[in-house]
Amino acid sequence: MNAAAALPDIPFPGHDKMIAALDAAVCAGDPQAVTRAVRQTLCDMIRDRDVHLPACVYEPISDHYARRELYRSPIHGYSVVAMTWGPGQGTPVHDHSGLWCVEGVWDGELEITQYELLERDGERFRFRPAGGIQAGPGSAGSLIPPHEYHTIRNASDDRVAVSLHIYKAEMQCCSMFAPQGEHEWYSRVDRTLSTDEAC
């Protein structure tokens, strides 16, 4: 099997429309222009009645938020990952391993908090919350390194949330940051990322 055949490509209504729009957006220029174009495309797709994500992305996994890769471009290299957030599920402070990303809320609501890196002492990092939003369906934001530190959380007690993430490339690893107990200081833990089975 060749590499292109092995790339994830999960069918869903509106798939070709979405991919054609993303292909155009990722050719927009520098990272700022690309993420602006991808963000607009993602907002349009969330609102487009012709586009419906696969049913499996609405199925939470009890012990962790789900990461299901739906598509990876054989030409441009970008990756489309649907994330499913059960009630109360979320992330620690983390980065995106140097990749730009555009994240959009497809269904439900998510709390997103960005963090500013104040200083670093070896493997210790001092962060300060730098603003947060309660994001609902149709909203999207972008993260461009070095401004990529953030948390995501489904604060609902009973509703599942679904978000779609467009990464510059397949994100295979990231750094997560655990609070040390000292004011604003965190220790870094490198983590290899896996994906859950898609439909």
User: How would residue 182 be classed by pLDDT, with cut points 50, 70 and 90?
Assistant: confident
CATH topology for the 3-192 domain: Jelly Rolls (2.60.120)
Residue pLDDT, tens place only, 87-144: 999 999 999 999 999 999 999 999 999 999 999 998 899 999 998 899 999 999 999 9
User: Counting Cβ atoms within 10 Å, is residue 56 exposed (0-12), middle (13-18) or buried (19+)?
Assistant: middle
Task: Please give the pLDDT value at position 2.
Answer: 41
- Residue 128 and residue 185: Cα distance in Å, rounded? 9
Kindly report the average pLDDT of the chain as a whole number.
93
Q: Residue by residue, what is the 3-state secondary structure of 149-197? A: CEEEECCCCCCCEEEEEEECCCCCEEEEEEECCCCCEEEEEEEECCCCC
Residue pLDDT, tens place only, 35-52: 999 999 999 999 999 999
User: How would residue 7 be classed by pLDDT, with cut points 50, 70 and 90?
Assistant: confident
Half-sphere exposure for 179 (CA within 13 Å, toward CB): 10
- Residue 85 and residue 101: Cα distance in Å, rounded? 18
Task: Please give the pLDDT value at position 199.
Answer: 78
DSSP 94: E
Other beta carbons within 10 angstroms of residue 176's beta carbon come to 15
